[in-house]
Structure 1
Amino acid sequence: MTNSAKAPEMTAEQNKALELMLSGKNVFLTGEAGTGKSALLKKLCEKTNDKNTVFLAPTGIAACNIKGRTIHSFCKLGLGLQTEETIGAITNSRFMELLEAVDTIVIDEISMVRSDILWAVDNRLRAAASGRKQNRPFGGKQIIVCGDFFQLPPVVTTDVEKDYLKETFGGNFAFQTEIWEKAKFKVAMLKEQHRQSRDRVFYQILKNIRHGRLCEKNILLPGKETPVDVIDALNMCCYSKGNASKAPQAIALCTTRKQADAINGRQSSKLNTDAELFKAKITGSFPESEYPTEANLNLQKGARVMTLANKLLPDGSYEYVNGDMGCIEEISHTEDGLGYVSVRFDDGRSALIGAYEWPSYEYKLVYDRMSGKMQIKQIVAGTFLQIPLRLAWAVTVHKSQGQTFDRAKLFLGNGCFASGQLYTALSRCRSLEGLVLDRKIVKEDIIIDPDVVNFYESLESHAIAG
């Protein structure tokens, strides 16, 4: 990213999808990685800021990205499987009134929403509905879901959970539930590629991996006369002995948090500088699961870091944006306990980065004098003040979702263990030129869920946008 990064103009297919979402119909917004789903949700948020619209996501990071709440916190759901016995009745009258006042619920990262969680959202909204609306999907509310089921799946940790979800809802995914079918989602499928638009070979590789086309020899690499399959193409372009040392600025994408922490710790220990502690200042209600970075952040001169916020300049350009990478040059503390960190970015720019305040939002039902009605308003329930940086020698594939990297090293370790994991990791990178593999990819690394493949094949004939 550069200091002149600005929001791109909306494309025709994005405008068509936005029009559909503003029509009041239930919508499933989907598309490959890099097709602009997140940008479109931001535009939707701008268009609905004066309406009773609630933005939700399955994880704290995803909720922070859309300035919303987690599904669990908004719907007051407990941890673990959601069942008739565990979900409980709504006993808080104000919560009941809040749910009844909702017009639209937007759920991002729907691929990570377990089937029982979507069922629980429907259960809550029906319980708060009145009259015949109790018999309608989601209590008659408009539901917009956004995401790509070919990317990270829901977290299911035990065979007991897997068996329960299969028997009760038809599987782990939200699209396998009965309520998904009853909601009759209109499909807005984005097809124009923005992230890998300049590397057509890489784009073709990603499409093959996405759909599990592993044996088709249809990848013609530059300078080659014979097409190869997707695995050979990746290994020929991105793997060679010593590759990791040739990309010192590349972030390591890891399949596990343990591996990412080990790399960050190992690289930190190589620096001949002392770590300095920055303690976040937290006010009000800000759930720990939604912290945007470490509450106790250790930084040191020479460390590789990634920015976690944007800084807009008066001329409309950005001094830095979320995802910029660089190295710490200097660290200074101020009397308030925080301070400034000087970072030289990989493209040569330098910036003095001070504390950034993230809000934690809640939705409240308040009386609106202009309309004379009760309306849902998004209020700031708490704040998290911290230096907007994260150590960036390594990050998990999970935490990288939604990011774009110019250079990345993929550390597969013992291999991928979830469907869509390799596709998600590879699609974070802009080009083959910027991608390095720590070992050769094998067929077992590419895990494709056949239920997802069948689901998307059934969608193609019903898609509206694109």
Structure 2
Amino acid sequence: MKRVRPTWKKKEAKEDNEPQLLGEARTAMTEVLDMKASTPGQLTLNERVSMLNQDQKRVFENVKAHFLHQKCHEAKQCSCDFAPLRLFVSGVGGTGKSFLIEAIKALVNSLWNSEGLLCGIAAPTGLAAFNVGGITIHRLFQLPVEHATKATSYWPLPKTSQKIMRATLSEVKLFIVDEISMVSSINLAFVHMRLEELFGSSEWFGSRNMLFVGDLLQLPPVHGNPVFEKVATKSILSQLGCAAAINIWRDCVTYDELTINERQKNDPQFSSMLDCVRRGCPTKETVSVLKQRVIQVSVSDKFSELQQSGKAPVCLFPKRKACDDLNAQMLRKNASEVHDIYCTDEIDETAGNRKMTKKIIEHLDKLNADCNMTAGLEAKLSLAVGARVMLRRNIDTKAGLVNGAIGTVLSIAAQHVTVQFDNVPAPCKIDKVRSRFMVMKNFYVYRRQFPLILAYAITIHKCQGLSLDCAIVDLSEEVFSDGMAYVALSRVRSLDGLFLTAFDPQSISVSVSSLGEVNRLRKTHRPDLPLYDIPHISKRKRKLTGVDKTVSPSVKKVKVNPSSARDNEDCVITGTETPAASPFNFHSVDVQWQQSACQELGLQYCTQTPVRPGGPAVPLTRPDMRSVRRVQGDGNCLFRAFSYILTGSADQHIGVRHAILDHMTNNAQYFLGHHLVGYDSIQSYIASTGMDQDGTWGTDIEMLSLAHLLQTPVFSYSQQHGQWQRYSPHDVDRQLMDDIHQRSMYLLHTGNHFNVVGSIRKS
């Protein structure tokens, strides 16, 4: 089957030019109703409740009490203040979170007993969503699709799409989002805004009940910040169209946690090992045991050996390239005849002319390297009878033919491929599908291809939410994300079913900020549970190639020399092109400013801060990492950094913290309802966050407060995003003049820690 050159398709009348979606609203709502009709099992509510363990029963009863109270309000039997449920239920892999979800779904259906949809269920990936009877979060809420190369913005739905979604979701009493660790803070904001748009309420999530489930120490979002981090001011302006930074998670979410592990309950040694790996603190015994699980033969030989013994192994690799290589190798090794099936592409000319054909094809060839960029459809699909494949489309959600389902090819014909899926009783004929994706601005391609990919190996991101009897896992230096090693290991039910291709102890890492958030949630909502120790993270230095961003947009090539990096740096940038000129300047504070600020805040001036003065004509480029003044990482780093800038010493952080909070209290009108949403007073904000307590992490709010208090902007450089974020007094009080050339304070943010910037790189 030869590849067909893309042909042109005539323009069709369209309702509007809405951004590319993961699915049309009508199709998505049909899938929602199909999943409702295919709730697994025939267990009654009482049977499900009787099977809950002590942990699950506690959470279940709390949710039940909330819904019974809600029914009293609906019946006008109660008129007290009553807020919707916004609960996060956490727990390590295997604690029965999915089983609890099924019980809560049964409870909701029993209490309201309606023919309509009562539970809207979603997860970040298709397979994870299917496991809990839902669809992807992008399809359920019709969210814009993120790409690594550009940020997405929120957009309102067309009226017809709103009508379709409102008709399906109008009776929903509870929205459930599973695998919440993979949902970004910006997508959480998108969900809130979509529900607000659909149901006409300005309350969080359109006044709907929300249940979030997952483990923050598992995989983080592919794009964007973790769900618990504040959406930065820049993202608010560019992606949400709002004016103030928000943190929906901290503003409204409560917490409970499951602690009884059901998945590995018959293998206590493995369960104990996983707990250490999850916290990023593997013991010597854990490292020794994992080293013993490394196979001494090739992956393909081990895979075949396990298959011949009656097992169905799945290879879990960190990166797609390794998956592609093994898939091709296994196909060549096991197949007598390989069929190369080429797609058929058709260009949809929504704007422009046919003179662009050559350029479009060039762009399309680049996109073909990653089928995630081409609606999940391969340009060339290589298959053979006996090959392991994964479905990349929801074909029949009721039957279990969902995105992520894995099976074995039985036969190949021109119009269909017959596959025996692992979790579907009968063989299924998979036909070609036709999907549309963007190639360039205003140019789309319709691709026709079988929605299948080879699946001897899948990425670790694809496996979150699965339970496996047998897996071959790569824990080499290719592991690139916190929580990735834990997710891969915890998919397996017992140590006997785990095989490693390689093991690098430094592949085991945890997000310190996620640990801090779990500690905050435990301290606030589950004080009976101990707080986690925050490990000293010594990350492996890696070779990186990427895009470096400054305040002004500019794209440049980046080289990284890991051998010259300092011990506490992930990497060192050794060469870039000259960045574009910045609209801001590096003009730092001086001794007179320090002394005046100390007097105003009641602090003791110690010494001049060793920060280069710069000036109103010095462009703001990236920080000079050699100049960074490091402060202690004890939860007070933001306030220690400010203390260092103000006094020349980091020791007066308590005084700085109190001065900032006092200023917020005395100027509440500038913060409440604008930067702080969901609080009726500054005191309630302080009480709920513990912001007045030693060791509580500071946020954007405290940075804005100090900027307003001292009438001095604060700049924070994010190493993760490679750009400066500016906090100006003008952001708090719009009546103030915004002088972009005035003296400012400069911080370095490494993702979970603040330090002081002493100077910048020469432009």
Aligned to 1:353: 427
Amino acid at match of 1:198: N
Q: Call closer, same or farther: CA 1:251–1:290 in 2, change over 3 Å.
A: same
Secondary structure of 1:439's aligned partner = strand
Q: 1:300-346: per-residue Cα shift (whole Å, max 9, x none)?
A: 2343467999xxxxxxxx9xx99998866x5376x9x4464579x9x
Aligned to 2:52: 11
Aligned to 2:87: 27
Q: What does residue range 296-311 of structure 1 map to in structure 2 within 5 Å?
A: 299-304=383-388
User: Which range moves more in the overlay, 268-277 or 256-265?
Assistant: 268-277
- Give the distance between the partners of 2:322 and 2:485, measured in 1 at CA: 16
Is structure 2 residue 180 aligned with structure 1 residue 180?
no
Is structure 2 residue 183 aligned with structure 1 residue 113?
yes
Amino acid at match of 1:252: C
Deviation at 1:55, TM superposition (A): 2.1
What is the root-mean-square deviation of aligned Cα atoms in Å?
4.9
Deviation at 1:398, TM superposition (A): 1.1
Deviation at 1:16, TM superposition (A): 3.5
Contact 2:460 2:484 in 1 (8 A): yes
Q: Call closer, same or farther: CA 1:356–1:39 in 2, change over 3 Å.
A: farther
- Give the distance between the partners of 2:151 and 2:303, measured in 1 at CA: 52
- Give the distance between the partners of 1:322 and 1:93, measured in 2 at CA: 26
Aligned to 1:146: 213
Q: 1:204-248: per-residue Cα shift (whole Å, max 9, x none)?
A: 11000111223x4xxxxxxxxxxx442223113x12533744553
Is structure 2 residue 259 aligned with structure 1 residue 191?
yes
Deviation at 1:422, TM superposition (A): 0.5
Q: What does residue range 241-256 of structure 1 map to in structure 2 within 5 Å?
A: 241-242=296-297, 244=299, 245-246=301-302, 248=304, 249=306, 250-256=313-319
Aligned to 2:520: 458
Q: What does residue range 89-238 of structure 1 map to in structure 2 within 5 Å?
A: 89=156, 92=159, 95=162, 101=170, 103-127=173-197, 130=200, 133-134=201-202, 136-156=203-223, 165=231, 178-185=247-254, 187-214=255-282, 216=283, 228-236=284-292, 238=293
Amino acid at match of 2:321: K
Higher relative contact order by CA 8 Å / sep ≥ 6: 1 or 2? 1
Aligned mate of 1:331, from 411, 414, 439: 411
**Aligned length in residues:** 386
- Give the distance between the partners of 1:454 and 1:169, measured in 2 at CA: 23
Aligned to 1:173: none
Amino acid at match of 1:107: V
Aligned to 1:258: 321
TM-score, length of structure 1 as denominator length: 0.66
Aligned to 1:222: none
Amino acid at match of 2:296: K
- Give the distance between the partners of 1:267 and 1:251, measured in 2 at CA: 12
Deviation at 1:271, TM superposition (A): 2.8
Is structure 2 residue 461 aligned with structure 1 residue 398?
yes
Secondary structure of 2:473's aligned partner = strand
Q: Call closer, same or farther: CA 1:92–1:352 in 2, change over 3 Å.
A: closer
- Give the distance between the partners of 2:122 and 2:482, measured in 1 at CA: 23
Contact 2:475 2:503 in 1 (8 A): no
Contact 1:53 1:103 in 2 (8 A): yes
Amino acid at match of 1:31: G
- Give the distance between the partners of 1:181 and 1:141, measured in 2 at CA: 17
Secondary structure of 1:459's aligned partner = helix
Q: What does residue range 277-288 of structure 1 map to in structure 2 within 5 Å?
A: none
Q: Call closer, same or farther: CA 1:58–1:306 in 2, change over 3 Å.
A: closer
Contact 1:341 1:352 in 2 (8 A): no
Contact 1:323 1:403 in 2 (8 A): no
Secondary structure of 2:479's aligned partner = coil
- Give the distance between the partners of 2:459 and 2:515, measured in 1 at CA: 25
Contact 2:119 2:174 in 1 (8 A): yes
Q: Call closer, same or farther: CA 1:42–1:386 in 2, change over 3 Å.
A: farther
- Give the distance between the partners of 1:34 and 1:262, measured in 2 at CA: 31
Q: 1:141-197: per-residue Cα shift (whole Å, max 9, x none)?
A: 211111111111012379xxxx99556689xxxxx9621122142x23222222212
TM-score, length of structure 2 as denominator length: 0.43
- Give the distance between the partners of 1:456 and 1:107, measured in 2 at CA: 18
Any gaps of 5 or more consecutive residues in structure 1? Answer: 171-175, 217-227, 281-287, 310-317, 358-384
Q: Call closer, same or farther: CA 1:232–1:75 in 2, change over 3 Å.
A: same
- Give the distance between the partners of 1:104 and 1:127, measured in 2 at CA: 17
Aligned mate of 2:507, from 410, 422, 445: 445
Amino acid at match of 1:104: L
Identify the structure with the greater strand proportion: 1
Deviation at 1:64, TM superposition (A): 4.4
Deviation at 1:262, TM superposition (A): 1.0
Aligned to 2:124: 58
Contact 1:189 1:465 in 2 (8 A): no
- Give the distance between the partners of 2:105 and 2:259, measured in 1 at CA: 22
Identical positions, percent: 26
- Give the distance between the partners of 1:85 and 1:322, measured in 2 at CA: 23
Aligned mate of 1:424, from 484, 487, 496: 487
Deviation at 1:86, TM superposition (A): 3.4
Contact 2:315 2:473 in 1 (8 A): yes
Aligned to 2:294: 239
- Give the distance between the partners of 1:72 and 1:341, measured in 2 at CA: 25
Q: Call closer, same or farther: CA 1:91–1:271 in 2, change over 3 Å.
A: closer
Q: 1:275-301: per-residue Cα shift (whole Å, max 9, x none)?
A: 458999xxxxxxx99989989975423
Q: 1:379-415: per-residue Cα shift (whole Å, max 9, x none)?
A: xxxxxx989x874421111111222222211123542
Amino acid at match of 2:125: T
Contact 1:58 1:71 in 2 (8 A): yes
